[in-house]
Structure 1
Amino acid sequence: MTYDLVVIGAGPGGFDAAADAAGYGLKVALVEKQFLGGTCLNRGCIPTKLWLGATSAVEELHNQAKMKVASGEVKVDFPALQARAGKHLAGTRKAMAMQLKKLGIDLIEGTGRLRDGKVSVETGNGEQVLEYENLVLATGSKPVFFPGLEPDGDCVLDSDMFLAMEEMPRSLVVIGAGFIGLEMAQVAHRFGAKVTVVDAMDRVAPLEDPEVSKALASVFKRWKWDVLLEKRVAGVTTEGGKGVLTLDTREKIEADKILVAVGRGPVTEGLGLEQAGVELMMNKVVVDENLMAAPNIYAVGDANGHIQLAHAASHQAHYVAARIAGRTDAPYESGPVPSVLYGAPEVMRVGMMDNEAFLTDFDTAETSKAMLAANPMAQAHASTQGFVKVVWSAGKVVGVTAVGHDVSRLVTPATMIVQQGWTVEDADKTIFPHPSLDESLLMALKGERTRVG
């Protein structure tokens, strides 16, 4: 059978591309080698958020206890939490499979590779060959490691292994102070683990605004984390039932578990892509302005390496499905892409940071800010550290960054504000509810501006 579209990979990008294309009336096959939902559902965003959600009361109680208005203890049953997570993920996969069936999409379970202009799938029942008019590569990503930092599955773990643990360690070393490492470290902290974070960069969350990094570092210091920056790791091993990290200075750090969270890379090797005319650069699929990698072959999400976020992959997938169905011939435009670090505190960002705005137009780049200490909802939750910062260029909003209590709830209005390029007059046209965390966004929009640079 020849399909209008074959999609390899059933993560957020692949699943949405297949669903949208079927909705447009195309005949679609979706190839998945393991689980529907990909990394995000099964080994990333969703199980991590289930952990953070289940343990959030630990931090909430701690904050209220500091105000001397509450006391007690929150105990989270980790095996029960893991069982709940497993049931939730299985239920979600089942619902996704039912949706595919309802849409008339053929789900082919196995490993897909390109060969002779077709997709060859190694299934449990042998090879199945799929002919296609169009192909979407949505193969996702996997943890990557520097030499000497490879996990052994014993006391040295990658993020996939960490999420599959049967018990939380009493001590944890996290290599990598990015979003993955920091979210998982927060969960371990809430279970009472002694946390050490090691990174070669000079600050935590190094891709974020430096003021955000400073605010996070202050919280981690209060939590008594050992944060070791500008440190290079020579190797990690399991010795005597413990994880042992060795720095390039030969100093050793021991813990029950070591989590290696230094980044993720695209899954593109061994798929026969080069033979199909697909160019790879550092294992990323090179695409043009239409997300096309070769004639009638597209790549979305982590596979093309533009940005490693599930919602970005889905957005690209919607565009590609519409293009294949003949609904658009315009080049792909993502618009501002929001990102969030979850936990307590949270971090959200969309659009430019102030240094990026300065490089774009150094004459008009400005920032304005509101501190969460003045916000009634942050006060109510006894979590007042942090701020909302607005970045301006030529009198219009080009970026919003926030760090602090529950700031993820600001990410959608902030994205719309950046996308629409609000002026301060636009803020006066919108009613912000009181009391709400949103008022900090309003205060930042109307705050005194400071020139960047």
Structure 2
Amino acid sequence: MPDTDTPETEFDVVVVGGGSGGYACALRAAGLGLSVALVERDKVGGTCLHRGCIPTKALLQAAEVADRTRESETFGVRATLEGIDPAGLASYRDRVVDKLYRGLEGLVDSRGITVLRGTGRLVSPVAVDVEGRTVVARRGLVLATGSRPRSVPGIEPDGVRVLTSDHALTLDRVPRSAVVLGGGVIGTEFASAWRSFGVEVTIVEAASHLLPTEQVSSSKALERAFRRRKIAQKLRSTVTEVKATEEGVEVTLGSGATLEAEVLLVAVGREPATDGLDLAAAGLDTDRGFVPVDEHCRTKVDGIFAVGDVRPGLQLAHVGFAEGIMVAELVAGLDPEPVDHVGVPRVTYSDPQVASVGLTAAQAAERGLETVEVSYDLAGNGRTQILAGSGSVTLVAEPDGRRVLGMHLVGPNVGELIAEGQLITNLGLPAAQVARLVHPHPTVAEAVGEAHLALVGKPLHAHG
């Protein structure tokens, strides 16, 4: 792979940050014939590959294996769960990450992208200093430095008792008990995995529901499933104080009640990693640390773009990935469509999984849209019953059923189904047309067709 000894000082595109948005931009720009420098102070792949999406989902896969082993007699198989091996978990996680990392490095190398190892700092609207070396972007400078776990005033993570998601992924033990502060995607995924490993878990969430930005029916379904799994939930609750104890931590809630656990996981979201970039040197301002952009990720300074978690909006690896591709095409002189955040699928890989795309009923109401909701219970779905699961498909649609505005799924492996929902909602397919599609049997995907049959007044395995 090209390194910092490469003599070039000018490139068509300079990308600061090698995570999902940054490396996608670099790869696409190189594919369009542009010369590219990619600045990365750690490892190409960023948070998603090394501290986020991939390692957490590996953890959740191990959790599913633990649950299946524990519940094996449900399927007529006698198996014994002897315990959780933290070293084995780490080895499995690292094998997955390392294989993907090697593949990504090889891909970047094959495209002729110059990787500059070090911290990038803007010195002008077109120039970046990388550990004393200045490189210039002739056509486009792309900021893609991602995000880090958000902190809470008065609660200082120490990596032992008080953890961020980064700490939780590299723990050398499975804690006996945990309080999870935050019931969003990160908090619910860790709570789910830890519970599968036998941890006593309590989630503290300030909003009235877990996953507060999702469809309310999905949030309620997850809450019910978590109660069945004995994951305690303190909704509409805040944390006012955290004290270290001999056994771990004592967490005081706004109500005055206290919780004791071995660890506290702070999972209240992520904040942009823009400090240290010296954005002012390029004439850029920030809003709560974010770099404001237009729908094409252009900043107020001509030729500078910001993609992924550094700009306001949806913080998802695949959004950054799509924005990086879009910006590369803009710089190359093409005319790509902007990335529509509403039309992007969202998945929480808890047990059960929660997946969605498009508008929730509440979001539609905020836009002044009149809608109807139709839900199909997965109790009538053969594949879900084979998997010993439960859940539902909920459609938020125009009153005449002409167009589906949002699809919201809860159940086993529904993250694999939401791409179909993206096609339906983004292309504006008539509900009657979707209802005519033949889904393979027995699959969980059949539920998507059944929900549309119900929407157009032809329910099959559901009450009309």
TM-score (norm 1): 0.93
Contact kept, 8 Å, 1:274 with 1:280, in 2: the verdict is no
Instruction: Pick from 290, 293, 308 the counterpart of residue 301 of structure 1.
Output: 308
How many Å separate the matches in 2 of 1:331 and 1:9? 21
Candidates 280, 299, 302, aligned match of 1:274: 280
User: Would the aligned equivalents of 1:315 and 1:334 in 2 still touch at CA under 8 Å?
Assistant: no
1:156 and 1:237 in contact (8 A); partners too: no
Q: 1:253 maps to which residue?
A: 259
Q: 1:21 aligns with which of 7, 13, 29?
A: 29
Find out whether 1:183 has 2:192 as its counterpart.
no
Is it true that 1:5 corresponds to 2:5 in the alignment? no
1:378 corresponds, among 381, 384, 395, to 384
Q: What SS class does the counterpart of residue 20 from structure 1 fall into?
A: helix
1:343 equivalent in alignment to 2:350: yes
Query: Is residue 49 of structure 2 the alignment partner of residue 41 of structure 1?
Result: yes
**2:395 matched to which residue of 1?**
390
Distance 1:289 1:202 in 2: 31
Q: Which residue number in structure 1 is paired with residue 4 of structure 2?
A: none
CA RMSD after TM alignment:
1.9
CA displacement at 1:438 relative to structure 2: 1.0
> Do the aligned partners of residues 203 and 289 (structure 1) sit closer, same or farther apart at CA in structure 2, a change above 3 Å counting?
closer
- Name the CA shift for 1:269/1:370 in 2 (closer, same or farther; >3 Å): same
Question: d(CA) in 1 for partners of 2:86 and 2:24?
Answer: 32
The structure in which a higher percent of residues are strand is 1
Work out the CA distance in 2 between the residues paired with 1:344 and 1:332: 29
Which residue of structure 2 aligns with residue 149 of structure 1? Answer: 155
Take 2:157 and 2:70, find their aligned partners in 1: how far apart are those partners? 34
1:41-63 Cα offsets, whole Å, 9 max, x none, are 11111001111112212333455
Contact 1:8/1:32 (8 A) holds in 2: yes
| Structure 2 residue aligned with 1:399 | 406
Distance 1:64 1:331, change over 3 A: closer
Report the secondary structure of 1:447's partner residue. Answer: helix
Change (3 A) 1:441 1:311: same
Shift of 1:449: 6.9
* Structure 1 position 409 matched with structure 2 position 416: yes
- AA aligned to 1:313 is G
**Could you say which residue in structure 2 is the equivalent of 1:121?**
130
Which residue identity is paired with 2:79? Answer: G
Verify: 1:88 aligned to 2:96, yes or no: yes
Contact (CA 8 Å) 2:63, 2:194: kept in 1 or not?
no
Cα displacement (A) at 1:288:
1.8
What's the offset of the Cα at 1:431? 1.9
Match of 1:322 among 318, 325, 329: 329
Q: What letter is aligned with 1:50?
A: A
Is 1:166 matched up with 2:175?
Answer: no
Whole-angstrom CA distance in 1 between matches of 2:453 and 2:407: 13
Equivalent pairs counted in the alignment come to 443
1:413-453 per-position Cα deviation (integer Å, ceiling 9, x unaligned): 11111111121221244221111111101111111479xxx
2:60 is matched with which residue?
52
Tell whether the 8 Å contact from 1:200 to 1:232 is kept in structure 2 after alignment.
Answer: yes
**Unaligned 5+ residue runs, structure 2?**
1-8, 458-464
Match of 1:434, SS?
coil
- 1:280 is paired with a residue of what secondary structure? coil
Relative to 1, partners in 2 of residues 1:208 and 1:289: Cα closer, same or farther, differing over 3 Å? Answer: closer
Q: Classify the secondary structure of the residue corresponding to 2:61.
A: helix
Deviates more, 1:327-336 or 1:304-313: 327-336
Give yes or no for the alignment of 1:201 onto 2:210. Answer: no
Question: Residues of 2 paired with 1:279 and 1:436: CA distance?
Answer: 50
Q: Describe the SS at the equivalent of 2:294.
A: coil
Corresponding position of 1:436: 443
Which amino acid in 1 is paired with 2:344? V
Q: CA deviation at 1:64?
A: 5.5
CA contact (8 A) 1:7 1:29 kept: yes
Judged with a 3 Å threshold, the aligned counterparts in structure 2 of structure 1 residues 386 and 331 are, in CA distance, closer, same or farther, namely closer
Q: CA deviation at 1:186?
A: 1.1
Structure 1 residue 361, shift from structure 2 partner: 4.8
CA distance in 1, matches of 2:339, 2:212: 28
Distance in 1 (alpha carbons) for counterparts of 2:202 and 2:160: 18
- How far, CA to CA, are the matches of 1:328 and 1:448 in structure 2? 37
Q: Does 1:366 align with 2:375?
A: no
Distance 2:382 2:450 in 1: 13
1: CA distance between counterparts of 2:247 and 2:44?
35
- Paired AA for residue 360 in structure 2: M
Q: Deviations over 1:340-397 (max 9, x none)?
A: 011320000000112222343544x1122210000000110111x2110111126201
- Partner in structure 1 of residue 217 of structure 2: 211
TM-score, normalising length: structure 2 = 0.91
Q: Offset of 1:334 from its aligned partner? A: 5.2
Percent identity of equivalent pairs: 35
Contact kept? 2:191, 2:231, Cα under 8 Å: no
